[in-house]
Structure 1
Amino acid sequence: MEPKNIKKLYYSISEVSQITSLKKYVLRYWESEFPELRPEKNRAGNRIYRLTDIKTIFLIKKLLYQDKYTIEGAKKKLRELKKNKESQLQLSFEDMRRQDALLEIRKGLQELLDFIDNKPPEEEKPPGEDGPMAVPPEQG
């Protein structure tokens, strides 16, 4: 079963064991080895897994069983993936900051051009004066 077929908010260790085709003791062991896999516990102390936990389990399973990583190799790979994801997020924030800075520069340049042309700045224009008014054609 793939994670996209998952419909509930929380899953027990038995349900996750069935979904992932892994034994419960394997899931408990992976929790002790992989810091990325930390399911919460309910009031009774039972593990409750979220979709993100199940996706992490599938990723660990792929790294260990298909890609043949060792436990240490899989830990390193997960750290690299997390680092890459964080750096991509950081890049998108930097892009937004650059875009904001460029918009401010553009606004400043437009104000400078308006000043040179003796136009009032954008925010000081009286309402209704969006630009040159069209002259009505002569009737004749």
Structure 2
Amino acid sequence: MQCPEFYFWCRAEFSVEQFLKLNAQLMSFNSVSVTDSGINQFMKDWIHRKGVEGFMEALLWCRMDRDKDTLLEGLDAKEWDEEFEKNACGFVENFERCCGRVVDPFQSLTVSIHSDRITIYATEQRDEYDGKVSTSCWIPR
């Protein structure tokens, strides 16, 4: 599917293969058949710059038990804690207003796992600024 954003307010039985081929920057749907491994692959693709250019948010509604270990397998995942909040220059505290640059270049997603949904936000992207590689940080809209 080629569109900048889409929202389905009904069941969407996308296969993992179809989900990985969605080319939307913003998406929200009732995900009844996308597996934890498929979500993990989606995140890995984006981290390794193989995902949708300009991706911002995926909201996958589904009432099922999710396996956090499978969702985060092979990813350098960190819980938001005091050290993260300190290193992120107030990102957690001011999540709705955060904008800035840090020195270490990497791609970052913020993942929120709940009993009825998983939300994936693109929050940092490797960038080149003033001749130096850096990380651009932004907040979800």
TM-score by length of 2: 0.26
Give the structure with higher Rg (CA): 1
- How high is the TM-score relative to the length of structure 1? 0.27
Greater helix share, structure number: 1
